[in-house]
Amino acid sequence: MNFDEIIDRKQTNSMKWDALKERYKSDDLWPMWVADMDFKVPEVVQKALHNVTEHGVFGYHFPPASLREAIVEWMDKRFEWTIEQEDITFTPGVVPAIHQLISVLTEEGDGIIVQPPVYYPFFALVNTNRRTLLENDLVERNGTYEIDFNDLEEKMKSGAKMLILCNPHNPGGRMWNKEELTKIAVLAKQYDVIIVSDEIHSDITFRGNHVPFASLEAATDLQVATCMAPSKTFNLAALQLSYVISNQRELQQKLELSMRQNFTGIGNPYSSAAAEAAYREGEPWLTNLLAYVRDNIDYAEKRLKEEMPKIDFVDPDATYLLWMDFRQLGMDDQALQQWLREEARLALNDGHTFGKPGSGFARMNLACPRSHVEEGLNRLKQAYDRLQQP
Ligand SMILES: Cc1ncc(COP(=O)(O)O)c(C=O)c1O
């Protein structure tokens, strides 16, 4: 594995590289947006995919029991979380899964809590399902984010039916700890709130181990659906395989019925083979990936601190995303957006799309070769230096 290798992704219909014109009105920006990686998957995964191609038959498919077994083992090995194969429902993506969960577990008009700044599709998922969006803004403290539990309780008390938890949190990179998760569980029990826990980033962690919400003792009697996938971990997003873990059979049956009624397909020979190979044999690759990405983060943080002190950042516990705070530059969102595109020539994710508390921020993806990070920061520094000139 050579994470320094530059792989040309242009003209491969890559969202990150080939949708710049459509999204940013210019195709010569340096792409550090969409949350995928510019790295090749582990060799074992590529080999498994070759084997599927060699076999050459692509009839109707269902994800095999051996994949369920590999997932069960992964949960145990990575998080000391014991689940059963029957707890797994395959889904064609975490966003589609959350959409189905909202539609089957809540009614039109019901309140659903999200915690901005947060992964922006959560807003659309609540709104397109015609549920009521309840925003429990995170609080910034000591350069990181915390949950405002008083406000969370208020929101739950006001009749919220569901909380979409993002753990680890995108874009702030927080791994919610046992104590915080337990507090959420206690409140959810008190006010009868369903928890949809999006844990898609749970393998990309730098400080200790991720704690699955549903693994907590305090979550035992709650209605919890945990959404996970190999897509962020092993760069398999295009294969569209994810899964919901829940030991609540009624919840699971509702989800599965809804997927059937919506003619939602699940998996194909490629996604099953890739996911199983990754979970069974991809851990050494992941260990190296985490070290490489953490070095990228340290490098970016050092350069920001030393060369661009007015650009602050949240040091992530998890995720390969750096949440950068440009507020000291004194620009409104439109001016910041324009400056990043026209002066820095960078394609980042604009902070305000993650909700109001994201105003003045932007998200930079650091899952790329070091030279790509260097170029991105060089561009940012040139624009920054021009701003500082009288
Ligand atoms: C928190 C979170 N959930 C879900 C997704 C997307 O999941 P999927 O591609 O499986 O729909 C992302 C991708 O960036 C994410 O950050």
DSSP string, 181-199: HHHHHHHHHHHT-EEEEE-
What is the CB neighbour count within 10 angstroms for residue 374? Answer: 14
Beta bridge partners of 338: none
Percent of the chain clearing pLDDT 70 (strictly above): 100
Nearest to 337 by CA among 358, 357, 360: 360
What is residue 222's predicted lDDT score, i.e. its pLDDT? 97
Measure the CA–CA gap between 216 and 208, rounded to whole angstroms. Answer: 16
Q: Specify the residue for token string 């295009």.
A: 238
291: pLDDT strictly greater than 90: yes
Q: Which two tokens stand for residue 271?
A: 């996604």
CATH of 59-281, picked from 3.40.640.10, 3.30.505.50, 3.40.50.720, 1.20.1440.120, is 3.40.640.10
Alpha helices (H) along the chain: 15-18, 20-24, 43-55, 65-79, 94-105, 121-128, 149-157, 178-191, 231-234, 249-261, 269-281, 283-307, 333-338, 370-388
* Superfamily of the domain at 15-42+284-381: Aspartate Aminotransferase, domain 1 (3.90.1150.10)
What is residue 390's predicted lDDT score, i.e. its pLDDT? 73
- Does the beta carbon of 97 lie inside 6 Å of ligand 1? no
CB-based contacts of 358: which residues, under 8 Å, 6+ apart? 116, 117, 171, 350, 351, 352
- Does the beta carbon of 321 lie inside 6 Å of ligand 1? no
Nearest to 133 by CA among 151, 101, 109: 109
Nearest to 256 by CA among 71, 72, 105, 69: 105
pLDDT tens-digit map of 310-363: 999 999 999 999 999 999 999 999 999 999 999 999 999 999 999 999 999 999
**Residue 291 C-alpha to ligand 1 middle, in angstroms?**
22
Q: Answer with the residue of higher pLDDT: 276 or 142.
A: 276
Asked whether the beta carbons of 313 and 380 are under 8 A apart, the reply is no
- Does the beta carbon of 35 lie inside 6 Å of ligand 1? yes
What is residue 388's predicted lDDT score, i.e. its pLDDT? 85
213: pLDDT strictly greater than 80: yes
> pLDDT class for 97, splitting at 50, 70, 90?
very high
Percent of the chain clearing pLDDT 90 (strictly above): 95
| 319 backbone φψ class: left, alpha, beta (φ>0; ψ -120 to 50) | left
217: pLDDT strictly greater than 80: yes
Distance of CA 319 to the CA centre of its chain: 7
Average pLDDT, the chain: 97
What is residue 267's predicted lDDT score, i.e. its pLDDT? 83
Closest-lying ligand 1 atom to the alpha carbon of residue 36: 14
**For the chain, which residues make up each domain, given as ranges?**
15-42+284-381, 59-281
- Does the beta carbon of 170 lie inside 6 Å of ligand 1? yes
105: pLDDT strictly greater than 80: yes
Closest-lying ligand 1 atom to the alpha carbon of residue 93: 10
The CA-to-CA distance between both ends of the chain, in Å, stands at: 47
